[in-house]
């Protein structure tokens, strides 16, 4: 049972005492990284977002400055992710805004950018890049940072994601090279792209209930739910990939664990062929690199 409020009885506390209160509550609530989370949230509460208080554990904090920390502690005890509480998440060295409507960018998805970097090693290339299901804009903005002469289009069905993605472009000074628009995948596009990035929803519907509370309760269902088998979006996307990919272009497609075989089957039956599979840091097959089938 999560408390409704935290009472600070003394007029001031050391940083260490304050962190210990948070850590004890996080441990009781089953939070995975209690110490790390407590330090981040305290920094944000005291308007010092980069401060982690190492070597400053004996500094004093007046209890009148602890209200915001109390509310952040209680939110985290309800298993709201730190990123959603502080409103930002790092991806590929970009600091991105997040909200309840966008999926938190994840390190696994960086596999797509790493894979694209290996395939398009010339940083001076002028590439036309499409990101389908852009969410926070993380994949597209990371790619635009990698190829500074390139342009990109990001599409999401949820206009609230598009709003965040536009803000993220501006925040990272990439807004002059990117357009974000609402849409149903690539269904209304005539243009061809050298790179297509895509991380669609791929969790089978009946597995969503088994996910960590941080994901199940706080990530948008639209970003997770891949239908009964998890493969619905791949089926929808396959024919659209073929239409939007330039003759020599490549698709970088994120997949869930154990989905490689059926997804390859779907792509092959839409005249796309596998170039390579890249693994994520946990050595799980994570990114399919696909091209048009070459006869």
Ligand X SMILES: C[S@@+](CC[C@H](N)C(=O)[O-])C[C@H]1O[C@@H](n2cnc3c(N)ncnc32)[C@H](O)[C@@H]1O
CB of 109 to ligand X, least distance (A): 4
Candidate residues 45, 70, 109, 172; the one interacting with ligand X per rule CB under 6 A: 109
Return d(Cα 201, Cα 24) in angstroms, integer: 35
CB of 116 to ligand X, least distance (A): 13
Return d(Cα 34, Cα 24) in angstroms, integer: 8
Binding of residue 184 to ligand X (CB under 6 A): yes
Candidate residues 37, 110, 146, 156; the one interacting with ligand X per rule CB under 6 A: 156
**Listed ranges 68-76, 152-160, 268-276, 285-293: which one lies at the site for ligand X (CB under 6 A):** 152-160
The packing angle between helices 15-29 and 67-77, to 10°, is 20
* Listed residue (112, 96, 92, 94) closest to 104, CA to CA: 96
Instruction: Please give the order of strands across the beta sheet that includes 193-198.
Output: 178-182, 151-156, 128-132, 193-198, 245-254, 285-292, 272-279
Binding of residue 185 to ligand X (CB under 6 A): yes
Binding of residue 157 to ligand X (CB under 6 A): yes
Return d(Cα 277, Cα 31) in angstroms, integer: 33
Nearer to ligand X, 15 or 223 (CB): 223
Binding of residue 17 to ligand X (CB under 6 A): no
**Listed ranges 2-10, 132-140, 245-253, 282-290: which one lies at the site for ligand X (CB under 6 A):** 132-140
Binding of residue 139 to ligand X (CB under 6 A): yes
φ, ψ dihedrals at 197, nearest 5°: -105, 140
- Tell me which residues touch ligand X (CB under 6 A): 103, 105, 109, 133-136, 138-139, 155-158, 161, 184-185, 199-201, 222-223
């Amino acid at each position: 049972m999560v408390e409704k409020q935290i009472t600070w009885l003394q007029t001031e506390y050391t940083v260490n005492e304050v962190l210990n209160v948070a850590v004890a509550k996080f441990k009781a609530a089953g939070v995975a990284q209690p110490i790390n989370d407590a330090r981040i949230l305290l920094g944000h509460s005291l308007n010092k977002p980069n401060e982690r208080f190492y070597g400053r554990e004996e500094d004093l904090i007046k209890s009148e400055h602890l209200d915001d920390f109390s509310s952040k502690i209680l939110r985290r005890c309800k298993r709201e992710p730190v990123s959603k509480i502080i409103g930002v998440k790092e991806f590929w060295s970009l600091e991105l805004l997040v909200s309840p409507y966008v999926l938190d960018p994840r390190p696994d998805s960086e596999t797509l950018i790493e894979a694209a970097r290996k395939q398009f090693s010339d940083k001076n290339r002028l590439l036309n890049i499409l990101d389908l299901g852009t969410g926070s804009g993380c994949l597209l903005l990371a790619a635009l940072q990698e190829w500074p002469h390139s342009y990109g289009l990001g599409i999401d069905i949820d206009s609230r994601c598009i709003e965040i993605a536009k803000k993220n472009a501006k925040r990272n000074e990439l807004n002059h090279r990117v357009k974000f628009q609402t849409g149903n995948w690539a269904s209304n596009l005539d243009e061809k792209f050298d790179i297509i990035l895509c991380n669609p929803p791929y969790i089978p519907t009946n597995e969503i209930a088994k996910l960590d509370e941080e994901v199940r309760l706080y990530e948008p269902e639209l970003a997770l739910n891949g239908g009964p088998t998890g493969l619905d979006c791949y089926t929808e996307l396959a024919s659209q990939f073929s239409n939007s990919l330039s003759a020599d272009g490549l698709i970088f497609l994120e997949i869930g664990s154990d989905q490689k075989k059926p997804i390859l089957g779907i792509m092959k039956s839409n005249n796309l062929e596998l170039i390579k599979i890249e693994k994520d840091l946990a050595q799980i097959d994570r990114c399919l690199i696909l091209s048009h089938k070459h006869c």
